[in-house]
Amino acid sequence: MTDGETVRLEVDGPIATITLHRPEALNALTIPMKVELRRAFGTVARDRAIRAVVLTGAGRAFCAGQDLKERQDPAAAPLAVELRERYHPIIRAMRSLDRPIIGAINGVAAGAGASLAFACDLRIAGTSASFVLAFGRIGLVPDSGASWFLPRLVGPAKAAELALLGDTLSAAEAERFGLVARVVPDDTLRAEAMAMAVRLAALAPGALAATKQALERAWSQDLDRTLEDEAYRQGMAGASRDHAEGMAAFLEKRPPRFTGE
């Protein structure tokens, strides 16, 4: 376990759990916390033994976004600078990580906290989870990727409603819109997220990484380019030992043992 003051990183075999840990402030993001979160993703990126990541919050919230009290400091960096220097590196680290990230959404995800949830590859919600694009309520605009992720995740109409009105999206509604894979009782959320991580960790790491990248790239490409990219990635995957192992396991009617080669 690597303990920052405000972000905890636990590694258990092939699974890393990153916990936002300022429960007294609903895990609102301070500068040290953003630094620790970026560092945690860096540590995960370097540890090739990690095959899946769970991101969650301590206490009753996932993350309430930017710490608005810290923002009162007259010496605070301008908003655009803070975004470019501290938020964007976190979002980019999450999207470029070549392992899947599961958001275990244990309570409210507001503002940039919602953006963190959206930047995960998959989300499971506890029944008490909710999403709120709180930016408009304080005269700000969606940031940290929220305006990029949300229309892609829930469609443009629902995204406009959530972003413009700032309405709270409950866990049940989030499931209906496909934003979360499923909703589970709060007290089983960690276990359910871990079970999903265990499933992911048993899959071929190279194929998972390429799938994550393919899904991301396809959003901004036309069909022809995507077909070509698929052919390229499939050529690479097809030449891997893991593909041979997957085929052998299928023919021998046994579970595969993927090594990432």
Distance between CA atoms of residues 203 and 206, nearest Å: 9
Q: Tell me how far apart the alpha carbons of residues 261 and 234 are, in angstroms, rounded to a whole number.
A: 15
Cross-strand partners of 158: none
Q: Rule CB under 6 A: is residue 118 a binding residue for ligand T3D? A: no
The label of the residue with tokens 């443009």 reads 156
Sites for ligand T3D among residues 136-175 (CB under 6 A): 138, 140, 143
Q: Which amino acid is at 151?
A: P
Phi, then psi, of 130 in degrees rounded to 5: -155, 160
Choosing from 62, 118, 135, 149, the residue that interacts with ligand T3D (CB under 6 A) is 135
* Stretch touching ligand T3D by CB under 6 A, among 7-15, 109-117, 177-185, 221-229: 109-117
- Contact between 90 and ligand T3D per CB under 6 A: no
CA 19 to CA 10: how far, in whole Å?
8
Query: What letter would DSSP give residue 75?
Result: T
CB closer to ligand T3D out of 11 and 83: 83
Q: Determine the 3-state secondary structure of 149 from DSSP.
A: helix
Find residue 130's DSSP bridge partners.
108, 170
Give 52 or 108: the residue with its C-beta nearer to ligand T3D. Answer: 108
Q: Binding of ligand T3D at residue 64 (CB under 6 A)? A: yes
Query: Does 31 interact with ligand T3D (rule: CB under 6 A)?
Result: no
What single letter denotes the amino acid at residue 21?
H
**Beta carbon of residue 53, minimum distance to ligand T3D (angstroms, whole number):** 22
Within 209-238, the residues that bind ligand T3D by CB under 6 A are: none
| Segment 10 to 29, residues that bind ligand T3D, using CB under 6 A | 25-26, 28
Which positions lie near ligand T3D, rule CB under 6 A? 25-26, 28, 64-69, 71, 79, 82-83, 108, 110-112, 132, 134-135, 138, 140, 143
